[in-house]
Chain A
């Protein structure tokens, strides 16, 4: 049941990404091109999504999840250098090619080689960051 629910949510998420234009790198780069030929369309994606979560999460978090014993939520509240450095690096990568993780995965079904290479590089980057932070710790 949990798996079926997760599949349905993932499916809906994927529909939203494709519908919104997030799986089109040209569209994303146009949105990030604030000081060039800015394409504001994708502002409405984040805006629309956040409007829903801002309202709906409040109600959902008052109760309990329907298929789990409790909510699994992040507990940290401090804004640390690692968070900002990571987010900063992520933004650079987003601006370099035009994919963030969700749209990159969804766009795999378009069967373009560069998208596949992007996703493999992304996984390598995740592994690398884990190895680096273990060494620094």
Chain B
């Protein structure tokens, strides 16, 4: 199989999952929003679908790796300070910006939202700039 085929297939499956959620529940598959609303709203009845979606998000990779006999990817290569800093920034940024790769990138662009397109261009740009600075300029990694 070529190197591009599995990512492409994965992307198609992700798009299909987002379409399914919109078609069935009328909801945007924005994972940062689903996660925050689930955690902050707790277990009240309106949140049931969110917890179920999140449970599926965990079961999906287990199922995939088991059925395809593909090994788990290597554990993250960077240390704890990077995990904490990265996590804090991703959490703050997605809450302030109202979405992440799934909500803005996959779904927002899918419904031709200018806000989502601008957000996606912005986080791709700062992501690329961050890797450039950390890996090639400051050489912290």
Contact = CB atoms under 8 A, between A and B. Distances in A.
A6 B55 CA distance: 9
Interface in A1-60: 2-27, 29, 32-36, 41-54, 56-57, 60
Q: Decide if the interface of chain B is mainly helix, strand, loop or mixed.
A: helix
Interface in B78-122: 78-80, 82-98, 100-102, 104-115, 118-120, 122
Q: Chain A interface: which size bin?
A: 35 or more
A33 B14 contact: no
Interface in B48-100: 48-50, 52-65, 68, 70, 72-80, 82-98, 100
Given A14-B57, A48-B9, A125-B92, A60 B23 contact: yes
Interface of A: 2-27, 29, 32-36, 41-54, 56-57, 60-61, 64-74, 76-79, 82-102, 104-110, 112, 114-115, 117-130, 132-133
Contact of A14 (B59, B92, B110): B59
B93 A91 contact: yes
Q: Decide if the interface of chain A is mainly helix, strand, loop or mixed.
A: helix
Contacts of B39: 123, 126
